[in-house]
Structure 1
Amino acid sequence: MPTHSFTELIRQRAFMRMWLARLFGTTANQMLMVAVGWQMYELTGSAWDLGLVGLYQFVPALLLTLVAGHVADRLHRGRIVAACFVAQASVALILVAATQGWGAASGWASRELLLGVSVMLGVARAFQMPAQQALTPMLVPPPMLPRAMAFSSAGMQAAVISGPALGGVIFVAGASAVYATCAFLFAIGCGLIAVLRYDHVPPPREPVSLRTLLAGAEFVWRRKALLGAVSLDLFAVLLGGATALLPMFAKDILQVGPWGLGLLRAAPAAGALLMSVLLTRWPLDRRVGRIMLMAVGVYGVCMLVFGLSTSFVLSLVALAVSGGADMVSVVVRQTLMQIETPNDMRGRVSAVNSVFIGASNQLGEFESGATAALLGPVGSVVAGGVGTLLVAVLWLKGFPELADRDRMTDASALR
């Protein structure tokens, strides 16, 4: 692969505009999730309800996957992302009204409202993620794609760090202040992405059928290394994720309050940010499959440490290292997916990938909440860490195409 410098990458104006839009949008989304999670736990004190917040976001993404991917392959992807930002800003304004009150609507935040807006957020992200993921390969030359994916991940993780931390600080002034800030940030992101210009060539018109809708899933299924990479990430985060339980750890185990919750939410992103910066400077070149499997094993060990820790500092370190390990998996998976997928199918393939991401994140939050209701938060996280280690071992044997994958750009390995 030709060497392309970081300077060349940031000269791609359309790419940088999209990068900034994602930065603002992801920051707002992370702040929103911190506020909704903390407010739900304050209202109900229930681990089950924390899990339901994730489930209510995942179900719309699952149901709308095929439609969202098809739309991303037909329409202008930048405008789809802008519309999704508008929808999420509207959710934030609804929550402002519910928590602070305008006129007679003062103070009507409830469990049902928080679950309802979770569904709205799930619908918006169902359409946003495929269009957003499919945009990057259209904005940079193909040889730059591994660096672009790592740099995009760096920006996203910077937002994941700043969002929870900023949300935790602003929460001191009340939930409504957090939601108002989110609406403002979504508006900025929308403005940036709305003026994005790229060569959008409408695909040839063909009747919508079950075959065209399922084309992305079929594409992933036939390429075993890609299927192994996507499913490995799914099960690792599904079993090992602890995001939904962080309010319980912050309040009941580590006793650090909202500010500590913000730092706990930001810690995995801090490790991921550092790793993504390193991968931007030194992209993975050889043995990418084995490295991905080892990274998942490290992630599982970190979850074991976090689950058993009663030290706030040790918990932060464990979460930070887990974020760095997860970032290796993310960059390998996303780069393989974008390199191997033709442009006219990227929306549908990205939609399939989005379902896997949503399952590992939102459905993983539900799994964590449900398991914690039975085993307690510590038992839930420890069991998840053990499960993640088992998944890494099973995938080493079950997907030799992934384990033996050497280079990112070895197209023959996916056929």
Structure 2
Amino acid sequence: MDTATPVKNDPYASLRIQEFNFYLVIRFAIVFALSMQFTIIEWKVYALSHDPFTLGLIGLAEVIPAVLLAPFAGHMVDKREKRGMLLACIISYIVIGTGLFLLTWDRAVQGFSTQLVLNLIYALVFLGGIVRAFTSPSNFSMLALLVPRSLYANASTWSSSAWQIGGMTGPALGGLFIHLFGVHWSMLVVVAFFVLSMFCLLQIKPKPIYYKSQGESFIEGLTKGMRFVWNTKVVLNAMALDMFAVLFGGATAMLPAFATDVLHVGSLEFGFLRAAVAVGSLVTMFILAYRPLVNKPGIKLLAAVFGFGLCIIIFGLSTSFYLSFFALLLSGMLDGISVIIRQTILQLKTPDDMRGRVASVSSMFVGSSNELGAFESGFMARALGLVPSVVFGGCVTLGVVITTYIISPAMRKLDLKA
């Protein structure tokens, strides 16, 4: 491992490791490509259907395989070389991105019915969910193989920052490119960034495998990550809090409908709204790189998620583009606190031979809650109406925070200094 002597309170310590810098580019490029792809597909699907429920179906199509395969994927990642697993995932994304590029080309789908095009898009998104089940644990496991344990918290902050930069610029440029060049050529940019991530991954050397079966059966190995999370209450509580907050408080899935029907803006403004959450999170990431959360992080986490719920309610009630943008921006800043605390807990508490499986459980809890939240938002938008559904979700988020504060002393007493 290429290591560097850490300097006390050095916010750039992990950046002095060359392979970690390649990892950050990979992390950025994958998230950039996926978030831009999701933004483009959201816009295309809503343009074809004009039904908010179809936006929820995009999330559902991805989350089903991601959740069902997560335990198996984590088990496979722990048993195999991490760089090779991540490389296979990236190549799969290139193939899927190329398929979506063709589906958004009018000449390629000439003669296809609208429903057939939608079904083919859902099918490719479903395949992307299969790949994602393996990508998340591979990505998470790679970080711990690139930096010493003393730099896990610092590396997690920069890794999350790279993720947020990708999540910020992907939707913003997705909206801009749709505005300038159309959906079809915007998808070509997505494929190019997947290729960039593959090139950077090839600059990282293969890493050792720490998997230890210790005579356990296949089922025991498969469920070990879930048992670890269940028995480690601080990890369980952090995951559960974030999952329910995102599940009920996520408003981004409905942004095409809000942009078109509530705020009455176009694709460019839609891209800015889509990026607002990531912009806010990114601001928080850089602040926390210099001022780590060491004093009562559990209380700060609960307060941040409570504020996140309030921001979602404000967004749901707003009819002003600028107020909506500010509400999403602030929600992202508060969400960034949750991301940093959760990632630091996972890196510090997870044994090396179980990182893939624990990351898969995290993906089931947190990562998949974005897509389940998208489906929930689409379903509730159809049942209650667009605006009431988002306000209702924000109120549920507030209730989840209050409940967690009452029933979880481990969260109230959380200490990241240990």
Write out aligned runs for 1:14-413 (5 A).
Answer: 14-100=19-105, 106=110, 108=112, 110-172=117-179, 173-197=181-205, 199-201=207-209, 203-204=211-212, 208-405=217-414, 407-410=415-418
Q: Deviations over 1:122-148 (max 9, x none)?
A: 111110001101211221121211121
* In 1: Cα distance, 2:73 partner to 2:50 partner: 35
Q: CA deviation at 1:176?
A: 1.2
Q: Which runs of 4+ in 1 moved over 6 A?
A: none
Aligned residues of 1:73 and 1:347 also touching (Cα < 8 A): yes
User: How big is each residue's C-alpha offset from its partner over 1:340-388, in whole Å with a ceiling of 9 and x where there is no partner?
Assistant: 1110001100100011123320000000000000111110110011100
Give the deviation of 1:230 after TM superposition.
0.5
Root-mean-square deviation (CA, aligned residues, Å) is 1.6
The secondary structure found in structure 1 opposite 2:211 is coil
Could you list the per-position Cα deviations for residues 83-136 of structure 1 after superposition, in whole angstroms to 9, with x for gaps in the alignment? 21211121111122222266x654747110111111011111110001101211
Deviation at 1:221, TM superposition (A): 0.4
1:413 corresponding residue in structure 2: none
Deviation per CA, 1:224-263: give whole Å up to 9, x if none: 1111110000000101001110000111111111111111
How far apart are the structure 1 equivalents of 2:7 and 2:42?
A: 45
Whether the 8 Å CA contact 1:305–1:318 is kept in 2: the answer is yes
- Taking structure 2 as the reference length, the TM-score comes to 0.94
Cα distance between partner residues in 2 of 1:385 and 1:204: 43
Partners of 1:147 and 1:279 within 8 A in 2: no
- In the alignment, the residues of structure 2 paired with residue 197 and residue 24 of structure 1 have an alpha-carbon distance, to the nearest angstrom, of 19
Deviations 1:194-228 (A, max 9, x none): 33125413534556511110000000100111111
Amino acid at match of 1:196: I
- Do the aligned partners of 1:98 and 1:106 also contact (CA within 8 Å) in 2? no
Structure 2 CA distance for aligned equivalents of residues 137 and 202 of structure 1: 12
Q: Does the CA-based 8 Å contact 1:4-1:143 persist in structure 2?
A: no
Q: 1:343 to 1:322 in 2, by over 3 A?
A: same
User: Structure 1 pair 310/170, CA: closer, same or farther in 2 (3 Å)?
Assistant: same
Distance (Å, rounded) in 1 between the aligned partners of 2:315 and 2:140: 31
- SS of equivalent to 2:292: coil
Closer, same or farther: CA 195–207 of 1 in aligned 2, 3 Å: farther
- In the other structure, the counterpart of 2:3 is none
Quick check: 1:30–1:163 contact (8 Å CA) kept in 2? yes
Name the aligned partner's letter for residue 257 of structure 1.
G
Q: Are the equivalent residues in 2 in contact too, given 1:57–1:121 (CA < 8 A)? A: yes
Q: Identity across aligned pairs (percent)?
A: 36
Q: Distance in 1 between matches of 2:324 and 2:175?
A: 18
Q: Check the 8 A contact 1:276/1:327 in 2, yes or no.
A: yes
SS of match in other structure, 1:214:
helix
> In 2, are the aligned partners of 1:97 and 1:106 still within 8 Å (CA)?
no
Rounded Cα–Cα distance in structure 1 between residues aligned with 2:317 and 2:106:
41
Distance in 2 between residues matched to 1:239 and 1:7, nearest whole Å: 36
Q: CA deviation at 1:33?
A: 0.3
CA apart distance, 1:392 = 0.4
CA contact (8 A) 1:146 1:335 kept: yes
Contact 2:81–2:206, Cα closer than 8 Å, also in 1: no
Judging changes above 3 Å, is the alpha-carbon distance between structure 1 residues 159 and 344 closer, same or farther for their aligned structure 2 residues? same
